[in-house]
Amino acid sequence: MKFLRRFSPRSLAGRFERFRSRSRRSLSDYRFYAYLAVLGPGIIAANSGNDASGIATYSTAGAAYGYSLLWVFIPMTIGLIVVQEMCVRMGVVTGQGLADLIREQFGVRWTALVMLALLIANAGVIVSEFVGIAQASELFGIPRFFTIPAAAGLIWWLVVKGSAKRVERVFLLMSLVFFGYIISAFLARPDWGEVANGFTRPNFSSDAGYLFTIVALIGTTITPFMQVYVQSAVVEKRMDAEELNLARTDVVVGTLFACLISAFIVICTAATLNAVGITTVDSAATAAESLIPVAGHYAKYLFAIGLLGAAMLAMGVLPLATAYSISEALGFEKGVSRSFREAPIFLGVFTALILLGAVIAMIPGIPQINLLLITQCVNGLLLPIILIAIVKLANNREIMGEHRNTLAFNIVAWTITAVVSSLSLLLIGKTIADMF
């Protein structure tokens, strides 16, 4: 009887159901761990765009225009996802970085021009990241002559002496500091109804400042170095076509998180600075100081911690993206896991940029605003070239095969390229006009 009960239809059905349940759980666990294995490039690249100058731009938008520009983050997020997805897809399918593909498909002259522009622009932004670190540390009463060399040494040691996996993990941990902006926004007690209206009701204005703030937001969020980094990082992880969907998920999650953080910076400064009539912010440090009367010292320190982490993350990603692009363009060995003997150009460029940025940032009275204006112009000129190259490469049947862009995807990609390129050139014109 015991034997019959053990193998009765009801008993067998129960066992089968438990087996199915365990199988579903194990499959779910497998997918989760598979995602963790490829997690990194998309999240790091997207969050590195929230650097010191980006935080200043978002703070300015919130202070000057309140919640009225939050709607911009929706098309901006879609645009960044589309661009980064193409780069990740090219990296997975071809096993080559963006500069590698540009050299092969467009020739050495175009590659040299693009790499020179990228080197100049990134060098200027790296200096601004060190200045951001200095400003954040000075908010805590720590002099820049201590924090800048310490930060430079820490990032250099991490990349040159560490492995690719360790570098990626540390960069991911740095991304956690961005939660400080979410807490700061809640401390500011915004009108959440107005926040919802800002996202769902586009508010257009013919005011020149309003229009160019929109352009600055997009130009800060979609930058050339992010696309170079995300593709090279995917290649270094040696991902294959079977992991493409997981890599896409990484891009989507990373972009949503980064743009959400940017929106919270706007919400925080809109609820505090704009609400009391402070409409001008010249740096992220100024925004942090301005929060004190409204949201208290805790908001200031959270904002400062976010600025420090953001500048540290960008300070690591920017020189890495530059070193990747130059090494790929010239055909030299590259990779974070390589030694100086194996990849002297790659690690040499990285080291030189870290050293140059730290030294210049410690010069008293460094004209940070002028430096940012110049690099903004170079980035603005470079972005249309990079975007056009990305879309054309993603459509190349020879290198992409069945993974090339579909017709519907192309319509979206070319529209984004045209709009972002036009806005970028408009921002250059406005910047040059302001300089004179």
Residue 16: inside a domain: no
Concatenating the DSSP letter of every residue in 130-147 gives HHHHHHHHHHTT--HHHH
Least confident of 100-114, 162-176, 192-206: 162-176
Residues in the chain, total: 436
The better pLDDT of the pair 86, 35 is held by 86
- b/e 42-71 (16+ beta carbons within 10 angstroms → b): bbbbbbbbbbbbbbbbbbbbbbbbbbbbbb
* pLDDT value for 284: 65
The better pLDDT of the pair 24, 266 is held by 266
* pLDDT value for 25: 47
- What average pLDDT does range 136-162 have in this prediction? 86
* pLDDT value for 30: 46
Q: What's the sign of the alpha-carbon dihedral 96, 101, 104, 109?
A: negative
The better pLDDT of the pair 300, 261 is held by 261
Tens of pLDDT, residue by residue over 173-224, are 877 778 877 887 887 788 899 999 999 888 877 777 787 788 778 877 888 8
Does this model's pTM top 0.75?
A: yes
Q: How many CA atoms lie within 13 A of 122 on its CB side?
A: 34
Band of the pLDDT at 8, cuts 50, 70, 90?
low
C-beta atoms surrounding 337 within 10 Å: 13
Contact 139, 153 (CB under 8 A): no
**How far are the Cα atoms of 86, 142, 144 from residue 399, in angstroms, in the given order?**
13, 51, 48
Across the chain, what does the average pLDDT equal?
A: 79
The secondary element (H helix, E strand) that includes residue 199 is helix 192-200
Tens of pLDDT, residue by residue over 17-47, are 554 555 444 444 445 444 444 566 778 887 7
Contact 238, 261 (CB under 8 A): no
Distance CA 303, CA 182 (A): 10
Least confident of 77-91, 164-178, 407-421: 164-178
Instruction: Locate the DSSP E strands across 50-192.
Output: none
Residue 133: inside a domain: yes
Band of the pLDDT at 90, cuts 50, 70, 90?
very high
Which DSSP letter does residue 404 get?
S
Residue 6: inside a domain: no
- What average pLDDT does range 230-258 have in this prediction? 86
- b/e 171-202 (16+ beta carbons within 10 angstroms → b): bbebbebbbbbbbbbebbebeeeebeebeeee
Distance CA 227, CA 274 (A): 33
Band of the pLDDT at 122, cuts 50, 70, 90?
confident
The better pLDDT of the pair 95, 372 is held by 95
Distance CA 239, CA 247 (A): 8
Residue corresponding to tokens 């995602």? 35
Least confident of 22-26, 226-230, 278-282: 22-26
Q: Which two tokens stand for residue 53?
A: 């100058």
Tens of pLDDT, residue by residue over 422-435, are 877 777 777 677 76
Percent of the chain clearing pLDDT 90 (strictly above): 15
Q: Which two tokens stand for residue 206?
A: 């013919």
Which DSSP letter does residue 191 get?
-
* 130 phi/psi in degrees, rounded to 5: -65, -40
* pLDDT value for 12: 45
Categorise residue 76: left if φ over 0, alpha if ψ from -120 to 50, beta otherwise. Answer: alpha
Which DSSP letter does residue 364 get?
T
The better pLDDT of the pair 371, 354 is held by 354
Band of the pLDDT at 53, cuts 50, 70, 90?
confident
* pLDDT value for 274: 80
pLDDT at 107 over 60: yes
Residue 21: inside a domain: no
Distance CA 252, CA 228 (A): 17
Contact 346, 335 (CB under 8 A): yes
Distance CA 382, CA 384 (A): 6
pLDDT at 231 over 60: yes
Contact 42, 253 (CB under 8 A): yes
Residue 272: inside a domain: yes
* pLDDT value for 263: 92
Contact 59, 285 (CB under 8 A): no
Q: What's the CATH code of the domain at 163?
A: 1.20.1740.10
Counted domains in the chain? 1
Residue 290: inside a domain: yes
Distance CA 320, CA 159 (A): 9
340 three-state secondary structure: coil
pLDDT at 288 over 90: no
pLDDT at 384 over 80: yes
Distance CA 5, CA 3 (A): 6
The domain containing residue 325 runs over which residues? 42-435
Q: What share of the chain is helix, strand, coil (3-state, %, to 5)?
A: 85, 0, 15
